[in-house]
Amino acid sequence: MADQISVAVIGAGMAGRSHAAAYRNAGTLWGSELPPIRLAAIVDSNAELGEDAARRYGYERYYSSVEELAADDSIDAVSVVVGNDLHLPFSTLMLESGKHVLCEKPLAGNLADARRMAELEKNTDLITATGYTYRRVAAVGAIRNRIANGDLGDLSVIDGRYWCDYSCDPDGPLTWRYLGEPGSGALADIGTHLIDMLEHVTNGRIVSVSGGSLVTAIPTRPIPLGMVVGHGRAEVSDERGAVTNEDTASFVARFDNGLSATISCSRTAFGMPNGMSFAIHGTRGMAAFDWHRPAEYTLGGAAGDFPSGPRQVLVGPTDPYFGGGYPMQAPANGSGNAESFAYQARAFLDQIVGLDEVPTCATWADGLHTLEVVDAVVRSDATGGGVVDVPAA
């Protein structure tokens, strides 16, 4: 085993900073077998942003280009956390320079790029992973275990939604998030998280979709006059440009076991800052989760080891990820976004050194499958809601 693991993050925006902070904490989680983590570099074309992230999170240096990072042979692993269209070229360059790659979701800016990345994964011995952090939420893991143990009986129906309001302002700047092809808007940005999580928690696979509907509520936005970070505001011009992808998407998903789910996502749902939630019902019980209350979940059933009727369950040390991962090992102490990123970073690094203490990360093949589902929704919408099969892996 190596004496240390050197890590870098490409992208110093809000998600990039989440990865940077996660590596800083990954070595404190679970067992002590992981070698020391060297926080090597932050990469961003914006010097002010990149230098600040490197200083803030304790990284040794700032690079202004991915070429500089590729040439640094001391670095073992990289998170790629940039605009979706850059995932393929940056990830390819990192693999070619011998670095393990954790790429943020969605895997790529379009389906063709995602398929190329899945082929790259098949032909490398390096670790490649897709960033689906909601898999690492303790409450989600607890529900997954309940389902696997049969506590809910035979699953019968799922309702999932990811509603946000970060795009409600019609005068918000026209950034890259609004300029992709259909399916690259809310469906790719937040819907991919929901698709992956529902498959993960049920241990199922979406095989077809129907009733696909894509809606753009705000058709134009002002052109920004400078750089925009994340969902932030910026100075804009008087000129407006067309939004080319969806603000809201909805569809019905059919799983490989015959189960169906109603799924919707939106970036223009006022009053929902980050409203990812789901409810799963079976023949003997139900379970529900709401990210606005991440340290708990709802559980109900007519029989078994829990009382009849829905009840609130607070997560704690007996639940996945929380046990051994959360600093204060006592129930009802909360859990959130930063912890999920840290758990993911630890899983990625564990894979690199051959440890198996926590479940492995989603693969690039998993990321491709999610975008195949997205593409099926787009095609369903184009046919007025018709049934579209999702290609098998």
42 shares a domain with 143 = no
Residue written as token pair 């011009």 = 237
Domain presence at residue 256: yes
pLDDT for 220 = 97
Domain presence at residue 253: yes
> Could you count the other beta carbons within 10 Å of the beta carbon of residue 47?
11
Give the CATH number for residue 97. Answer: 3.40.50.720
More confident position, 194 or 229? 194
204 shares a domain with 68 = no
> pLDDT tens digits for 146-199?
999 999 999 999 999 999 999 999 999 998 899 999 999 999 999 999 999 999
226 shares a domain with 99 = no
pLDDT for 309 = 75
Show which of 88, 112, 134 is a domain's final residue: 134
Domain presence at residue 390: no
pLDDT above 90 (res 127):
yes
Mean pLDDT confidence for 315-329: 83
Lowest mean pLDDT among 209-218, 235-244, 366-375: 235-244
pLDDT for 343 = 94
182 shares a domain with 92 = no
- For residues 232 and 128, the answer to whether their CB atoms sit within 8 Å is no
pLDDT for 306 = 54
- For residues 193 and 186, the answer to whether their CB atoms sit within 8 Å is no
Residue written as token pair 């559980």 = 299
183 shares a domain with 100 = no
Domain count along the chain? 2
Domain presence at residue 392: no
pLDDT above 90 (res 237):
no
Show which of 134, 167, 198 is a domain's final residue: 134
Domain presence at residue 352: no
pLDDT for 94 = 98
Residue written as token pair 């693999």 = 95
Share of residues in the chain with pLDDT > 70 (%): 97
| Containing structural domain, residue 92 | 5-134
144 shares a domain with 82 = no
189 shares a domain with 92 = no
Domain presence at residue 350: no
327 shares a domain with 198 = yes
Residue written as token pair 């932050």 = 42
pLDDT above 90 (res 95):
yes
C-alpha R_g of the chain: 21
- For residues 303 and 127, the answer to whether their CB atoms sit within 8 Å is no
28 shares a domain with 170 = no
- For residues 365 and 118, the answer to whether their CB atoms sit within 8 Å is yes
pLDDT band at 30 (very low <50, low <70, confident <90, very high): confident
3-state secondary structure 3-37: CCEEEEEECCCHHHHHHHHHHHHHCCCCCCCCCCE
178 shares a domain with 72 = no
User: Where do the H-state alpha helices sit in the chain?
Assistant: 14-26, 47-57, 66-71, 87-96, 111-122, 138-148, 186, 192-202, 337-353, 364-382
Angle between helices 87-96 and 111-122 (to 10 degrees): 20
Show which of 118, 134, 150 is a domain's final residue: 134
Q: Would you list the DSSP string of 145-193?
A: HHHHTTTT-SEEEEEEEEE--TT--TTS---GGGSS-TTSSHIIIIIHH
> pLDDT tens digits for 287-306?
999 999 999 999 998 645 55
pLDDT for 1 = 55
> pLDDT tens digits for 332-364?
777 788 999 999 999 999 999 999 888 999 999
188 shares a domain with 129 = no
> pLDDT tens digits for 34-90?
999 999 999 999 999 999 999 999 999 999 999 999 999 999 999 999 999 999 999
Domain presence at residue 32: yes
Average of per-residue pLDDT values in the chain: 93
Give pTM, 2 decimals.
0.93
190 shares a domain with 54 = no
Domain presence at residue 360: no
Give the CATH number for residue 244. Answer: 3.30.360.10
